[in-house]
Amino acid sequence: MNKTLIALAIAAALPVAAQADMTLSGSVSTNYTDQGVVDTDAALSLSASEVLANGMTATATFDVLDGESQGTASLAGDFGTLTVGEITNDAAFQSGDVGGAVGASDDSDDGDTTITGIHFSTTQAGLSISAQVNGATGPTAVTAAEATAASPADVETRGSQFGVSYDFNGITVGYAYASAAANKDRTATSPTVTGNGTGVDQAMTAFGVAYTMGDLSITAGKDSIDTDTDFNVSYTTSMDSLTVTASMDNDSEYQIDLGYALAGGLSLAAEIDSDATATSMGVSYTSGNLTASVTKTDDKTTDASVALDFGNADLELARDGGTNDGETSVTYTVAF
């Protein structure tokens, strides 16, 4: 027999490792303002997902944003989902804080709400459990030793979180715990690492209840630091083209959102907030790939924008009334 045919037959009989399908996506965005500032941002993302022989699904992602990279690997099955790499700062805690007693933490440097760590979640018979460990460094890998008084920075802190909730007949009860804040602040005037001042903090617990019945939603929550019990009542109703959402919290602060859709792609929106200095109002118009909007914000400035959607490319002309007494910018974005 021909040796080549024998070699091909042997190769065909050997097991071959399956290759997961990979997806590549990204974007490049350039922004120019009338102040002469040019800013270009680039992002690249690679992701792959594969169903394993045991029925579980393995997923991997790798993201690059402005030169900083971050990867995530996860494994999902009947047991739940395990994620290692980039995770949300307070995902486990917030899953148990169903009453909304504690706001989400963020990184005051850039508004980032992610950190490097390990997260696990599962739901069985109405019982949801989440647990995570936050790593001591984030995407910028700034440690407490590196963040000195001369070079202040937010320092990601090692800690663990736990959240559990149970849903029965429209009522959800939950409990949350965090051993430490997701990040700490070190400033030039305060070289000692302190709490982040907002969101989840050290040794914090929270208990909450949420109830939903049709368009009515009620939440109540209490954390171990705040002496007050937080609650919120919200109701949403729609009448033809008009949508109204009204809510009130424990501080007797109320907010009413109004939305009205007119014929021909025209829509109106308004927000009445007891804690704001003025009511915000806006009008928008959509026709084909064109979207235009004008908004009078609650700080009494006016924002306006005109955007064109060309599929994988977008062009926007915008005016921000609250920046530099009215900053105008042009942004061009190409995505793939």
Does residue 10 lie in a domain region? no
**Of the listed ranges 3-12, 185-194, 196-205, 218-227, the one predicted with least confidence:** 3-12
pLDDT of 110 > 50? The answer is no
CB-CB contact of 57 with 80 (8 Å): no
Condensed to tens digits (0 to 9), the pLDDT of residues 298-330 reads 778 899 999 999 999 999 999 998 887 789 999
Q: Specify the higher pLDDT residue, 271 or 298.
A: 271
User: In which domain, by residue range, is 136 found?
Assistant: 79-230
Condensed to tens digits (0 to 9), the pLDDT of residues 47-81 reads 999 999 899 999 999 998 877 788 999 999 999 99
Distance CA 96, CA 164 (A): 5
CB-CB contact of 183 with 107 (8 Å): yes
Q: What residues contact residue 124 under an 8 Å CB cut-off, 6+ apart?
A: none
Q: What residues contact residue 2 under an 8 Å CB cut-off, 6+ apart?
A: none
Does residue 63 lie in a domain region? no
pLDDT score recorded for residue 266: 95
Does residue 165 lie in a domain region? yes
Helix (H, G, I), strand (E, B) or coil at 129: strand
Does residue 335 lie in a domain region? no
pLDDT of 112 > 70? The answer is no
CB-CB contact of 45 with 61 (8 Å): yes
- How would residue 12 be classed by pLDDT, with cut points 50, 70 and 90? very low
Q: How many other CB atoms sit within 10 Å of the CB of residue 24?
A: 10
Q: Name the pairing type of β-strands 80-88 and 290-296.
A: unpaired
CB-CB contact of 156 with 149 (8 Å): no
Q: Name the pairing type of β-strands 290-296 and 302-309.
A: antiparallel
Does residue 155 lie in a domain region? yes
Does residue 151 lie in a domain region? yes
Task: Tell me the whole-structure pTM to 2 decimals.
Answer: 0.77
Does residue 4 lie in a domain region? no
Does residue 30 lie in a domain region? no
In the chain, the number of structural domains is 1
The alpha carbon dihedral of 184, 188, 189, 191 has a sign of positive
- Per this entry, what is the length of the chain? 336
**For range 132-147, the mean pLDDT:** 64
132 forms bridges with which residues in the sheet?
A: 119, 161
Condensed to tens digits (0 to 9), the pLDDT of residues 259-269 reads 999 988 999 99
CB-CB contact of 23 with 46 (8 Å): yes
DSSP letter string, 206-234? EEEEEEEETTEEEEEEEESS-SSPEEEEE
Helices (H), the chain: 3-13, 91-96
Distance CA 144, CA 164 (A): 31
Distance CA 90, CA 106 (A): 9
pLDDT of 201 > 90? The answer is no
